[in-house]
Amino acid sequence: MNSQAALSRELALRIGLAARALPDTDAKRLLSVLTDCIGLPITEEKIAGINLNTLKTAKAGEFIDVDEPLLTHALSILKSGFNVPKQQAYVDGDMPGSVRIACASNDGINVDGHFGSCSQFMIYQVSADEARLIDVRTTDIPDDLEIDDKNVFRAELIRDCQVLYIASVGGPAAAKIVKLGIHPIKLPGVDSVNEVIGQLQSVIAGTPPPWLAKVIGIEANDRFRFEREATG
């Protein structure tokens, strides 16, 4: 395996993820636009030179009607280097006082996914002083599997998690998530997974709400103390 082959695979992955971030776009469509932008072969150096206006006007304005924030996000994925942290092994009991969370993501870096359309769930085990990426679960439905309810299928993918961070979720889908004992948290905007984890760790280390205190194994008497502190 040479470095050029590895680079080509990484670029292909980033192009696929960037395409997912754009409406009605697959990797083939984005590749055709990039080819018009920078020609072949597509390389890191050429992608680094693409600006928003170039991407928007390439191929006779293929993306001219796409909202600029979406194009900017897709361009950031293309240029990111896709530096997602590596998965780490985890065995139950490794991290006392921890909680398992799912982050709905399209790019593997940010919590930017709608529950019903995100491409993957990033699964982390998080304690006050440690966080491990323990799994990445694609939301693609296998071809040989018939699904009556896509939202139930997605909720089942993360049923071992206690918390779900999402950019958006509908009411009926949220009810199905809660039914499995998962606490959904809808973010007001797009935050990086690292930011979300940092905020959660601060809460765990400080005064967690009663439901979270229970999840991380704080005794009932202490949970009552936290509840009193939270309510004043």
* Three-state secondary structure of the chain: CCHHHHHHHHHHHHHHHHHHCCCCCCHHHHHHHHHHHHCCCCCHHHHHCCCHHHHHHHHHHCCCCCCHHHHHHHHHHHHCCCCCCCCCCCCCCCCCCCEEEEEEECCCCEECCECCCCCEEEEEEECCCCEEEEEEEECCCCCCCCCCCHHHHHHHHCCCCCEEEECECCHHHHHHHHHCCCEEEECCCCEEHHHHHHHHHHHHHCCCCHHHHHHCCCCHHHHHHHHHHHHC
pLDDT at 70 over 90: no
Query: Whole-structure pTM over 0.85, yes or no?
Result: no
pLDDT at 227 over 90: no
Span 203-229, mean pLDDT? 74
The predicted pLDDT at position 222 comes to 54
pLDDT band at 81 (very low <50, low <70, confident <90, very high): low
Span 45-60, mean pLDDT? 90
| Average pLDDT across the chain, whole number | 86
pLDDT (tens digit, 9 = 90+) per residue, 152-208?
999 999 999 999 999 999 999 999 999 999 999 999 988 889 899 999 999 999 989
Residue ranges and CATH numbers for the domains of the chain are 3-79 (1.10.150.590), 99-231 (3.30.420.130)
pLDDT (tens digit, 9 = 90+) per residue, 109-147?
889 889 998 888 999 999 999 999 999 998 888 888 888
Task: Give me the percent of the chain exceeding a pLDDT of 90.
Answer: 50
Virtual torsion, Cα 113, 86, 52, 45, nearest 10 deg: -160
pLDDT (tens digit, 9 = 90+) per residue, 142-168?
888 888 899 999 999 999 999 999 999
pLDDT band at 219 (very low <50, low <70, confident <90, very high): low
